[in-house]
Structure 1
Amino acid sequence: MKKKLLLISPGQFGYLTDYYYYCKYLKQDFSITFLCFDEGLEKKVLPGVQIKYVPLKGNRFLRYLRWLKFVAKEVIYSDYHIIFTYSFKFCFLLTLLSGNKSLIMDIRTGSVKENPLVNWFQNWLLRFESYFFDHITIISSGLIKHLAINPSKCHYLPLGAEILQDSNSGYDSIKLLYVGTLNHRKLHESVVGFSKFYKKYNAKIECSYNIFGFGSFQEEELLRQTIQDLNLSEIVKFHGRKNFDEIQDYYRESNIGVCYIPITPYFNFQPPTKTFEYILAGMVCIGTATYENSNLINEDNGILCQDTSDSFYDALEKYYQNRSNYNHDSIVNSLENYTWNKIVNRNLRPYLNAFVSDA
């Protein structure tokens, strides 16, 4: 019989990529139940996975009490073999309730707050929660050191993406794509760098830049104003927030993925999901030289730059000069071990099976 696996994540099912693919590739071997908030988004369905929703209503304090009560009840009164939980606030309480069930804490991110005090406190809280768990999965070895978590408890479980079929658009043009949050990214600097390149080369090569994402009112207005001030409204398009299904054609048609993240201590050890998505879609990735990006981006699949508009321009110039050297299959193959299929089947499944092999 299948062993029973409980996955816990406050984010609504289907909108945290990692957990969706965990379920997709584990459901043949495990009977999976997924606990999450109902955030009012379209409900995703995955046959073979039972999804239990907690209503997202009331103020923040009341909804969190409701969440903790719901999760506690599920953990105490159900006979799961393994409980795999996202590192939400006060998740350490599960260690007091789980009895002899195998319990795993999953860390997908450290704090990325700009405020140093808030950043320190959130990382301290994450470290405090980790003291209560004997088993922890985490996205990078660098984050283990950054958070000062006991490495003997930790199992490396990386981020990844799916290979996007029919995505070879060639490399004889400049078709930039950015997908993701705008908050704290200073993405307008990439538009400034692109503007400098466009003015020099637009007569020699086709250029475009599509941006999908959302952020604070101030961040979005800064991006729109930068595009307008540089007279790029016909070339640089800010589309706002879209679901992945709505923008797959842009992934197929673009040949450069932009992973523009400020190089700071709080982003340095945070592997960007988009780096995997761009490269496994066959795009050259222009990414800022954070510690984690530097481990993923090489001459075969991308170009590293600093977090300035001038350095972004230099990266575009380098792409232009070397565009004939890029090969779709070589780009995709450079990160083929980071497909969700391989991450789950070669990493997560054996890790989980070790907990139930003697059960």
Structure 2
Amino acid sequence: MNNFLDTSTKQSSVLWVIDGSLKDQLHKNARLKPAMELVKSGWKVRMITSGTPDDSEHLPITFMKIPWPNIYLFGVIGYYLKTISLLLSGKIKTDILFFQMDSFAFILLVIPIWQKITNKQKYRVVVDYRSLPMDTQSLKGKLRSAAFYLGVFITKYLDVKITAITAQLSEALKVRREQLIGLWPSGAELDDFSDCYGKRRWPEKNEPIRLIYLGVLTEERNLISVIKAAGMAKMKGTNLTVDIVGSGPQKEDLKKRVRKNRYDFINIHGPYPYHSVPDLLSQYDIGILPFPDVPKMNVSSAIKMFEYMAAGMPVLATRIQAHTNVFKDMEFVFWCAETPESMAKAIKKADRSKESLPTFGKNAKDYSRNWSWEKSAKELSIALRRITT
């Protein structure tokens, strides 16, 4: 606690409120990697979280753990109320209070409201937007979505600054130009994936191409089309295997479809721990990005898109704005529409391009240098400097 409250340094400082635990590996890397790069850029970084990473004592970041009770709705509200109490106590001094707008993070907007009422500005508040709500159908999804958009509404009418993952998300939320201080996309930790390309054994002429989807298993990801497309391609003589890896509410439905159609060349797996992902990707030839052309996908910046490239993999991707903005006209992409028929044609094209896959993979690996967490965090650092200098 004393170390967390230490203000002896004259460095510019940012207090990052995490929307949950940093023990979850994917969540951890999407937060810690940029934070580590901020430290390298000269920032003092402190994080409030409900669960600290196991190696926290070895990191140049200071953590404070606030409990998040496992009680739906009341747990998250309690977490943010305790955070607000700590911040309003005056015990913590920082240049910037920074947090992502998840469902109920809007509660933290009490801070700038209180500062406005009391005419005492202790914190420059920056709200970061990373996505639109995905689930808008279930009761929980509707509740989270309503809370998210309430936060958007309040943010627009407060004297706070905003960062976003993409320009498309900023436009979708109708962020005012004077509020937006910067964009910082997702990225990959290139060192984690540096050995993948060299470990991969590319398929010979008579061997199957190995495709993988790695991510969340939900209806919004268009995974049914992947299964249908693979079946169509197989019927037309394409030699392939497809592995769908991850967790989510659609997992059992995907398994049933595979069993029903007797697709023994398609496998559905549970999630892999993050530290095993580089080794996993080194066993496949092509990464799949099957997302449909809808706003909540087009405003995104999927981490797996960058990790496929960092692992030296060509990709099969739907031609949506979230993908074309990154890949542009790179030849290592097998483009398709979101329909099974179009995906099947792209799979067939990939199969005919076996001899070129190693070259495409090398090009993808080289191109990934433009999309590292280091570069992304530098954009975040530049954005935050705009309001501290």
TM-score higher than 0.5: yes
User: Are the counterparts in 2 of residues 144 and 151 from structure 1 also a CA contact under 8 Å?
Assistant: no
Partners of 1:130 and 1:149 within 8 A in 2? no
Shift of 1:126: 4.1
The equivalent of 2:272 in structure 1 is: 242
Query: What root-mean-square deviation, in Å, do the aligned CA atoms of Structure 1 and Structure 2 show?
Result: 2.6
Distance 1:227 1:106 in 2: 39
What's the counterpart of residue 356 of structure 1?
Answer: 388
Task: Call closer, same or farther: CA 1:84–1:324 in 2, change over 3 Å.
Answer: same
Answer whether contact 1:275 1:287 (CA < 8 A) is retained: no
Question: 1:321 and 1:133 mapped to 2: Cα distance?
Answer: 56
SS in 1 for 2:334: strand
Partner of 1:125: 150
The residue type paired with residue 345 of structure 2 is D
Aligned with 1:324 (options 355, 359, 364): 355
Using the TM superposition, give the Cα deviation of residue 30 of structure 1 relative to its aligned residue in structure 2, in angstroms: 2.5
Amino acid at match of 1:278: Y
Determine the structure 1 residue equivalent to 2:242: 209
Q: Which residue of 2 aligns with 1:145?
A: 171
In the alignment, does 2:97 pair up with 1:83?
yes
Q: Which of residues 101, 104, 114 is equivalent to 2:126?
A: 104
Q: What is the number of equivalent residue pairs in this alignment?
A: 348
Q: Is the 8 A contact 2:211 2:242 kept in 1?
A: yes
Q: Which amino acid aligns with 2:123?
A: K
1:317 and 1:58 map into 2 onto residues whose CA distance is 47
**Are residues 21 and 133 of structure 1, via their aligned partners in 2, closer, same or farther at CA, if it must alter by over 3 Å?**
farther
5 Å-filtered alignment, 1:204-353, equals: 205=239, 207-216=240-249, 219-233=250-264, 235-297=265-327, 298-326=329-357, 327=359, 328-345=361-378, 347-353=379-385
**Is the aligned partner of 1:32 residue 2:45?**
yes
Deviations 1:239-267 (A, max 9, x none): 21222113321211212111122222322
Question: 1:12 is matched with which residue: 2, 9, 21?
Answer: 21
- Report how far residue 123 of structure 1 moved: 6.0
For structure 1, list consecutive stretches of 5 or more residues without a partner in the other structure. Answer: none
In 2, the alpha carbon distance for the partners of 1:123 and 1:151 equals: 20
Q: CA deviation at 1:160?
A: 1.1
User: CA separation in 1, counterparts of 2:386 and 2:176?
Assistant: 20
CA deviations on 1:19-68 (whole Å, 9 max, x unpaired) are 11122212342332211223xx9745351222222223253343233212
Partner of residue 156 from structure 1, selected from 183, 200, 206: 183
Contact 1:104–1:133 (CA<8 Å) still a contact in 2?
no
Q: Which residue of 1 aligns with 2:5?
A: none
Structure 2: stretches of 5+ with no match in the other structure: 1-8, 116-120
Letter matched to residue 268 of structure 1: N
Taking structure 1 as the reference length, what is the TM-score of the superposition?
0.87
Which one of 210, 235, 243 corresponds to residue 175 of structure 1? Answer: 210
Report the alpha carbon displacement of residue 153 of structure 1 after superposing the two structures with TM.
1.6
Between the aligned partners of 1:103 and 1:36, the Cα distance in structure 2 is 18
